[in-house]
């Protein structure tokens, strides 16, 4: 057999090496001059305004108010109550403990109300978003 056949070399599948030579662009397009089409300066439709986050700021204000309320409620039980003045020994300890339990219950109720308000605000936000979504 006189003719030798050469095996064809395998193609490289490396994404960095293009299979065909890359074509250079003929030229770059010039940047547009003047106002863009559709801008309010040309009488077109104006761009939509940036959405305001009113709900977010109201939600943040409510969170700050509840946080201040919890801190002030917890701090109110740190001193000896008026009703316990003049007591000594076990009676003083019992009176102070009862006051601490009352403070704990009060702070717990505030936190429970805080959680309930957050759930109500969350459902309100979901309903609002569903009602105003675009078709």
100-126 residue pLDDT tens:
888 899 999 999 999 999 999 999 999
User: Residue 96 CB: number of other CB atoms within 10 A?
Assistant: 16
Contact call for residues 9 and 2 (beta carbons, < 8 A):
no
Instruction: Using a pLDDT cut of 90, give the percent of the chain over it.
Output: 30
pLDDT at 97: 83
Contact call for residues 95 and 84 (beta carbons, < 8 A):
yes
64-80 residue pLDDT tens:
999 999 999 988 877 77
pLDDT at 108: 95
Question: When comparing pLDDT for 43 and 101, which is higher?
Answer: 101
Contact call for residues 38 and 71 (beta carbons, < 8 A):
no
């Amino acid at each position: 057999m006189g003719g030798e056949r050469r095996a064809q070399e395998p193609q490289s599948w490396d994404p960095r090496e293009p299979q065909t030579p890359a074509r250079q662009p003929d030229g770059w397009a010039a940047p547009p001059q003047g106002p863009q089409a559709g801008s309010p300066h040309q009488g077109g439709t104006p761009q939509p305004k940036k959405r305001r986050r009113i709900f977010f700021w109201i939600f943040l204000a409510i969170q700050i108010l509840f946080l201040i309320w919890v801190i002030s409620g917890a701090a109110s039980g740190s001193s000896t109550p008026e009703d316990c003045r003049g007591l000594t020994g076990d009676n003083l300890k019992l009176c102070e403990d009862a006051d601490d339990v009352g403070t704990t219950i009060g702070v717990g109720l505030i936190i429970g109300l805080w959680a309930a308000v957050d759930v109500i605000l969350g459902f309100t936000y979901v309903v609002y978003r569903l009602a105003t979504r675009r078709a």
